[in-house]
Structure formats: structure tokens, C-alpha cells
Structure 1
Amino acid sequence: MPSGGRILVGLGALAVLAAGAPAVAETPAGVLFVAGKRGNTLSKIDLATGEERLRVPSCTNPHELAAAPDGNHVALACYGGTSVDIFAVDTLEKVASIDLGANARPHGIVWQQDEGTGRDTIFVTAEGRGAIFAIDYPLGGEPDLTEIPTGKVGSHMLAVSPDGAFAWTMDMGSGTVTLIEVGDARALRSAAVGTEPEGIALSPDGQTLWVSARGSNRAFALDPMTLAIREEVATGRFPLRIAVRPQGDVAVTSELQDGSLGVIDTATAKLVRTIPVSGPAEAAARQQVTILWSKDGARIYVAETGSDTVAEVDYARGTVTRRLRAGEGGDGMAILP
């Protein structure tokens, strides 16, 4: 496995990088939101200046974070409690708190809008209840909640099809991925994938489900509907998360024990590149967790939970351009223009 630097594998990898790594603007635009799971905070960082503009108390042990399609709100999964809390992006004022019931422990979260009806839906795992929730009209005063049992233990991370018809969970306690039909509110099937599977991402075209198994040091490409494994890729150590570039050409794993990112060519299912972030010497101290692409695919943001920073990575050059200070234990992230 490539490690320890920016390493390319063969001429095919060179071609992939030349085609898939765009030039990077000097100054990134937008606002980065970070959930601080140790400090119980929500931070707002101006990407143009790198300054943390605002930090507010949030909820107990907040983890994943999702931005509203209209760009006016962010939703926080309160893993230490039972609610999804919604904040206005300008002031970070909490405008809604949606309770999911006893022992919910919400974690993975996705916010979508139906283009035809304009209906907003928040999808969120309820790990403690072995379920996901579909929350329709989350800002409507009386949200419509549908609980869908996965039938598995520890349903932790989440992916949702672009039309909201299907969802997939990573069930850490069961070691499975589960396919859920949202409209019929039922789990269709589950499949074991590697050892300690956790990371999950759906390709932009909806044709491939990518899973990372941290105990196997592997990434897997699955058929989204049958859950059959199409490809298996060796990664670095402890690939906690996986994220597909918005352009669909690569998937990146967050390799916690190596302090690096593994770049997988999605067309060939080959590891073509390794990007050092902290490196093995600092990996234990920095504890990189969540990874997030910028919309243009030019940057990767890496939450470094141990050092209370977010590393901004220039994808084309394979270098860390700066480290952004955030709240204690930064984990979940979202970007808005």
C-alpha cells in the first residue's frame, strides 16, 4: 500500500490525477461548520480568512452535521442525547429541537429536499434504537417523523439516494450494511462487509455504494441494491471514513492510524495515491476522523478531533494548506457558500 508521501502507482495513476485534479483557487470561498463533540459546541469558520467567526453551545456530544439545501440552516445529530437540533447559519441560534425518543443516540445525518414538492427531509440514524428516522418538514413546527427499524445493532453512519427513496446504514454492532426502502418504511436486506465496517458513501450517480471497514484496512465497492461486493481495495490503517468526490472520479478514505488519506480511482477500484495529512508520528495525537469534500472537488477538509483542528488539504497538490482552529473535539462538518 502507498504510504508516507504523495505516491503514484504507474502511468495509469498519472493519467487519473491529471484528469481529476483541477487547479485550485488561491482563496477558498464559503463557510465551514464544525461540531465539537468534546466541547459540546457548534463552530462557524470563514474559509476566506480561516477565522472562527462564532462558536455556540450545542448539545451533549454532537457528532455528524448536515446543511439544509436552501443554505439557511444546519442540523446537528446529538449523539449524547435523543434529539436533532437545528441552527440558523447566520447567528447559530437554535431554532428547533426534534426529539427522537428514548435511547435514540442520533449519529449519521443527511438533509435533502424533494425538487418536485419542495419538501425537506432529514434522515438520521438512531443508533440506540437500531433504526433510522425520516423527518419530513423539520422546520414546519410539527415535523412528521417516521421511524424505520434496521433490525441490526449499532446503526451508525448513513447514506441516502438522491431521490430519497432508499437509505443505507452501517451497523457497527452487527458488522453489516443495511438497505432501507424509505417509502415502505422497511429494511430490505443486510450484508456483512469486512471487519468493523463504518464509513459509507454513495457515488453521485447512485450506482455504487462505497464502504470502508476499519478493522480490515479495506474499502469495498458494493451494488447498492443487492449489496453484493463488486470490488475490494486495500487501504491504509484504520480507514474510519470514506467520501466520494462530487465529480465521482475518486473515493477517499480517512486512515486514522496512518494520518493519511487514501485515494481510490472509482473506475478501476485501484488505490492510486496516498496523501499525508499528519503522518504516522502525529496520527495518534491528531486523531483524524470525518472527511468532507468542497463542492468543486478542489479541497478535502479533515477533522482532527485530538488537536481541535480541521486540516485543509489541496487535493491537486496533495498537501495541507492550513489548519483551522475549531471547538474541542471537532468531528461532524458541513460547508455552505
Structure 2
Amino acid sequence: MKYPYFQLALLSATLLAGSPPSWAGQVPGKASTSDTPVSHQDRVYAAEQFSNTVSVIDPVDNKLLGVINLGDPQPGNLSPLYKGEVLVHGMGFSPDHRTLAIVSIGTNSVSFIDTATNTVKHKTYLGRAPHEAFYTPDGKEIWVTVRGEDYVAVIDALTFDEKTRIKVPAGPGMQIFSPDGKYGYICSSFNPETVVVSVADHKIVDHVEQASPFCPNIAASPDGKQVWFTLKDVGKVQVFEAKPPFSIIKTIETGPITNHVNIVQNANGTFAYVTVGGLNQIKVFRTDSFEQVATIPVGNLPHGIWPSGDGSRIYVGLENADALTAIDTLTNKVVATIPVGQAPQAIAYVPGAVPEGSGMDNLKPLGLAGQATYLKLKAVGKAEDQAPTTITLFNQGLTQVLQAAVTGLNAKQPYTLALAEKADGSGNLEALASFMTNPAGSAIVNTIGPIRQIVQNDVPAQRRYLVVVTGKPDQLGAVVQVQAQ
């Protein structure tokens, strides 16, 4: 990375003062850790939910090198003899940067992948619907939030065996650790409560109240002072002290479908980057004043986010665009968009993941995992919205998984995604999926079927149009959103 003259002057002055540069140390490491410049030995990884793949990117060229196949698309993964993974979702990596821990929600597993060879070296099966996995800073344990139950599974990093469980409020969403390895912070997706756990003895030492029950993601600042977590259902981010008394410092309104948060240190300071899926934006906040300093438009439904080893870039998974976006953190501008597999969830940037060689072993081409159809819905009677409801039809062969990021509706109300006979929503309606909006008036809606063949049919009499209707399927009301043409 090349720095402008004023940054080089600042660097020289800081070094002469005998302290590390202000932009040294990126998550999950300490602020005192030296930055790692972007190189061809680094890798960016994306865990992809509907293609059951992990995409592997070289950050120097922002180029997709290939994917690691962990499973098959539907209907192959419906077989009772199926051995692959389903709903590849969560991701963590070891402190030595040699192992990925990939969580598959549907098959209750953690796949441990060798970063040098792109091969699975072990699988550990856990309880219902694990969500995220991360190594303790000393590399001795992997903690996995088992969101479908009420505990964190603690896995021995040498044997990959589950050695104990930490009882927590039901629905643990994600865990992250203080940079010094003293505390683990575990938020909940079902209860309005984050717990702080002593890593040494696995005991809960404190509780932090969440403003809502649904926290999917949490991040600790490299300086060991703050913990940030997202609240997807109400569109907020909260910040609390990383050390006793663990008090809430700030609550920030961010927007519908607030997904992930991560921390970046660079020459301009320390910043929290938040993915706001319902607005298709990244919002950037200073960690000292909490001032919002940037809004970055990106593609459909930004989800996971992770900085490079030197904080010069941050990478964002676009869940409804099957892409990864690279952002320059000094300018807060998008510098690259890279095609990846279907519905990227967790993202990880791993410096020095490939110590030598090309790192191309055992990678497969994107293939079917790169095929999808993208649609939008707009409010009835309005021009196309700035942040419309986005719909992606992920190709699964003869059928598609439909995922809609629905926004702009009334809070906590029943709606139905349906097929309409006419483009304006008139005529007969056929219900596809019913859903309830969250307090921010948004929702993630899924269904499956040969939907692309219907909504893009070349025969006008057979074509149908996606719409959102008030009410449940047995009592449909007014059409409120229609397919944008």
C-alpha cells in the first residue's frame, strides 16, 4: 500500500516517539500487533449458504481463485444418503492463520479446512443449528455458538473434539474474544441479553442487556476498550465497555436488516463498519465520538464484513448479489466487486493464509454456484425505491431458492409473498410464502421452486409477477409491492 506524504510524515513522527503507528493492529488481534501489508499469500474467504461453498479470493488482484465445495445444491442434498454440508454459513480462523472453521447450520457441523491446501482435515458435529465459530486468542479452543439450543460448544483445537459446554441464554448468536484472551462475549439471537464469560474457567462473569432479542454478530475493538454488536430485528448497533463494569456506552440507529459489524484502524483513526442489508449500504462510525463519517452504497443485501491485515481495505459479502465488494478504508470508496458463490454470509480476511506456493490446490470453478437471477420489488404507485425489496433466485438446477430482502413495510404485521396474474398485482394471486415483519418493517423471506421459469416466461399468458400482499395466505389483503420492470 502507498501512503500520501502526510501519512508518511505521521508514521515517521510516531516511530520517533517510540510508539506503534496509530493504524497498527487489526481484528481479531491486539492494537499493538504489527499490520500485515496485503500480499498474494493472503486470502479472503466467503461462506456461501445456498451453494454450500467457500469462495477463495486473492486480495492483491481482487480475483476469485475458485471455491471449496462442502456440499451440493438441492435436490441432491435432500437424499437420506447425502454426506455433504447444508447451509454453509459461519466462519472463523486460527491465530496461526492455517485453519478455517466453517459452520454449516443445516448439518450441525464445523468443517476445519487447511488454508494451504484447501482441504477439509476434520469435521466436528454438534447440537442443533450452530451459527458461528471462533478460536480463542491462544489458539487452544474453538467456541461455537449452538443457536438452536442454549450453549456454546468448546472444541479442543488439537483433537477437534467437543470438550465442554458453556450454558448461556437460549439462541446464542455469536461469540468474540477480547484481544488479550481474558473474556468471551456471547450475544443472543433469541433473548435480549449478551453474556461475558471468563475464558480461563468458562464461567459467566456478567450480563449486558440488549435493546432487542436478535443479535447475529459481535466485534471487539483491537484496543480492548469496546465491544460492538448488531440488532438485526430493530436496525440498531450497541456498544459496551469491554472491561468491567461492561456498561452500555452507546446505541446507534442504523437501519433495517442491520447485519454485521467490524472494526478498522487506519491513519484516520479507528472506525466501526456496519452492513445495513435493508438499505444496501455500509455505514461507518468513529469509535471515539460515534459520529457517522461515511455511507457507502454497495450491492444487494450486504452481510458479512472483515478488514485486511493492514486495515487498508474492508471486504463485504453481498448476500443477494453473489458478490464480494472491496472498499478502500481511507477513501471509503468501492474499489472492486468480485463474483462468488450463492448468498455469502460470514467473511474472513486471513493474512498469510498460504505461506508458499500458489494456494490453488483442490479449488473448483464457480460453475452452478455463480448462477442466479436478480429482481426488485417497488411500492405500489411509486417510482423505483432507493432501497427496494431485492429478490434473488439462486440456481439449484431445475429449481431455485428464492430469497427476498423485504423492506419498507409496516412493523410486526403479516404479509405474503405471492405470484400475481398481472404486472400491477391484479388478477388471481398464488401465495408462495407468508412472513411477519420485524420492528423495523423488514424481513428475510425464503421459498423454493421453478420460480424463474414463471416470472421470466416468454409466453405472456403463462407469465406471473412477484408481489407482496398484506395478510396471511388464507386472508389476503391489498397488494403493496410489485415487481419492478
The bucket for the TM-score relative to the shorter chain is 0.7 to 0.9
**Corresponding residue number in structure 1 for 2:391:** none
**Corresponding residue number in structure 2 for 1:241:** 260
> Alpha-carbon deviations, 1:303-331, whole Å to 9, x = none?
01112111111122222111111111111
Counterpart CA distance in 2 for 1:234 and 1:36 is: 28
Structure 1 residues 305 and 95: alpha-carbon distance in aligned structure 2, compared to 1, 3 A threshold: same
Q: Is residue 215 of structure 2 the alignment partner of residue 203 of structure 1?
A: no
Counterpart CA distance in 2 for 1:28 and 1:90 is: 15
Counterpart CA distance in 2 for 1:333 and 1:207 is: 23
Shift of 1:265: 0.9
Q: Is residue 254 of structure 2 the alignment partner of residue 226 of structure 1?
A: no
- Does the Cα contact within 8 Å between 1:292 and 1:334 map onto a contact in 2? yes
Task: In structure 1, give the amino acid aligned to 2:185.
Answer: W
3-state DSSP of counterpart to 2:206: strand
**Corresponding residue number in structure 2 for 1:252:** 273
Which residue, out of 188, 191, 215, partners 2:205?
A: 188
Counterpart CA distance in 2 for 1:168 and 1:74 is: 20
Aligned length: 300
Q: Is residue 128 of structure 2 the alignment partner of residue 89 of structure 1?
A: no
TM-score for the superposition, normalised by structure 1: 0.81
Q: Which moved more, 1:213-222 or 1:264-273?
A: 213-222
> Alpha-carbon deviations, 1:265-299, whole Å to 9, x = none?
11112222222223xxxxxxx22111111121111
3-state DSSP of counterpart to 1:209: strand
Structure 1 residues 314 and 28: alpha-carbon distance in aligned structure 2, compared to 1, 3 A threshold: farther
Counterpart CA distance in 1 for 2:249 and 2:160 is: 42
Counterpart CA distance in 2 for 1:72 and 1:309 is: 25
- Does the Cα contact within 8 Å between 2:257 and 2:278 map onto a contact in 1? yes
**Corresponding residue number in structure 2 for 1:5:** none
**Corresponding residue number in structure 1 for 2:305:** 291
Task: In structure 2, give the amino acid aligned to 1:183.
Answer: A
Which residue, out of 272, 277, 285, partners 2:298?
A: 277
Q: Which moved more, 1:72-81 or 1:244-253?
A: 244-253
Q: How much identity, in percent, do the aligned residues show?
A: 22
Counterpart CA distance in 2 for 1:273 and 1:94 is: 39
Q: Which moved more, 1:122-131 or 1:212-221?
A: 212-221
3-state DSSP of counterpart to 1:197: coil
Which residue, out of 49, 52, 55, partners 1:43?
A: 55
RMSD of aligned Cα (Å): 2.5
Shift of 1:228: 2.1
Which residue, out of 100, 103, 116, partners 1:77?
A: 103
Shift of 1:226: 3.2
Q: Is residue 91 of structure 2 the alignment partner of residue 65 of structure 1?
A: yes
> Alpha-carbon deviations, 1:1-53, whole Å to 9, x = none?
xxxxxxxxxxxxxxxxxx97xxxxx9864211111111111221222233322
Task: In structure 2, give the amino acid aligned to 1:106.
Answer: P
Task: In structure 1, give the amino acid aligned to 2:322.
Answer: D
Structure 1 residues 232 and 109: alpha-carbon distance in aligned structure 2, compared to 1, 3 A threshold: same
Which has more radius of gyration? 2
Q: Is residue 149 of structure 2 the alignment partner of residue 129 of structure 1?
A: yes
Higher relative contact order (CA 8 A, sep 6+): 1
3-state DSSP of counterpart to 2:148: helix
Task: In structure 1, give the amino acid aligned to 2:230.
Answer: S
Shift of 1:134: 2.4
**Corresponding residue number in structure 2 for 1:304:** 318
Q: Is residue 170 of structure 2 the alignment partner of residue 153 of structure 1?
A: yes
Counterpart CA distance in 2 for 1:311 and 1:69 is: 25
Structure 1 residues 80 and 134: alpha-carbon distance in aligned structure 2, compared to 1, 3 A threshold: same
**Corresponding residue number in structure 1 for 2:68:** 56
Which residue, out of 266, 269, 283, partners 1:262?
A: 283
Shift of 1:56: 2.5
Which residue, out of 124, 127, 137, partners 1:98?
A: 124
Counterpart CA distance in 2 for 1:270 and 1:40 is: 38
Counterpart CA distance in 2 for 1:149 and 1:158 is: 13
3-state DSSP of counterpart to 1:302: strand
Counterpart CA distance in 2 for 1:249 and 1:142 is: 35
- Does the Cα contact within 8 Å between 2:271 and 2:284 map onto a contact in 1? yes
Task: In structure 2, give the amino acid aligned to 1:215.
Answer: D
Counterpart CA distance in 2 for 1:47 and 1:208 is: 28
3-state DSSP of counterpart to 1:206: coil
Please, which runs of 5 or more residues in structure 1 have no aligned partner?
1-18, 21-25, 279-285
- Does the Cα contact within 8 Å between 2:111 and 2:120 map onto a contact in 1? yes
3-state DSSP of counterpart to 1:306: coil
